[in-house]
Amino acid sequence: MKYCSTCSTPLELRIPEGDNRPRSCCPGCGVIHYVNPKIVVGSIPTFEGKVLLCKRAIEPRYGFWTLPAGFMELNETTHEGAQRETWEEAGAKIKLGPLFTMFDVIRAEQVHIYFRAEMSSAEFCAGEESLDVKLFSEEEIPWDELAFKTVSKTLSLFFADRKAGQYTLHTGDVYDHTDWAASQFKV
């Protein structure tokens, strides 16, 4: 962020009065431009015990499998966002269940939240951002070809909870984010 989006004046990085961290401040119009984490909303769509995954047609992680998810938009709820992403990426209509995971991904400046979901039918199809969409049983999950750590963690918790006979909310964060390859979950 170099220029003020309100008046186009070059911005100054400084700590505003009464604040305690540097912000992009405009010496022209006085506006302070805050940057905050974004929310990624998604679902765990299931049909007859199988889970619906999408093969990514976009970067990052082109060709890897993921749960349907994307940035929450303005003018929608987290629930609506999860349903929209599932429709756009996987062509599936879902009945949303409870919130299942909420993970902080500090390095990406994001918070990822996944809801459990039941597909209304076996109908689905690859959206513009997917190369393929497929239902997987637990044994068929391509663990080594999953796109994101939050997806593999959400799936492994999902199957563990299902086996235990009780689903609970899981929150945590991908810490050790300075060494991404070695990073682990704190749940």
Take residue 119 and report the two structure tokens written for it.
Answer: 């597909």
CB 74 to a copy of itself: min, Å: 5
Binding-site partner at residue 71 among a copy of itself, Zn ion, none, CB < 5 to 8 Å by type: a copy of itself
Does the footprint of a copy of itself cover residue 104 (CB under 8 A)? Answer: yes
Does the footprint of Zn ion cover residue 26 (CB under 5 A)? Answer: yes
CB 185 within 8 A of CB 78: no
Our CB check for a copy of itself shows the closer of 50 and 96 to be 96
Binding-site partner at residue 29 among a copy of itself, Zn ion, none, CB < 5 to 8 Å by type: Zn ion
CB 139 to a copy of itself: min, Å: 30
The 3-state secondary structure of the chain reads CCECCCCCCECEEECCCCCCCCEEECCCCCCEECCCCEEEEEEEEEECCEEEEEEECCCCCCCCEECCEEECCCCCCHHHHHHHHHHHHHCCCEEEEEEEEEEEEHHHCEEEEEEEEEECCCCCCCCCCEEEEEEECHHHCCHHHECCHHHHHHHHHHHHHHHHCCCCCEEEEECCCCCHHHCCEEC
Q: Which of 50, 61, 93, 102 binds a copy of itself (CB under 8 A)?
A: 102
- By CB under 8 A, the residues from 18 to 47 that bind a copy of itself are 18, 20-21, 33-39
Our CB check for a copy of itself shows the closer of 122 and 169 to be 169
| Binding-site size, a copy of itself (CB under 8 A) | 41
The site for a copy of itself (CB under 8 A) is made up of 1-8, 10-11, 18, 20-21, 33-39, 71-79, 88, 98-99, 102, 104, 106, 109, 111, 128, 169, 171, 173
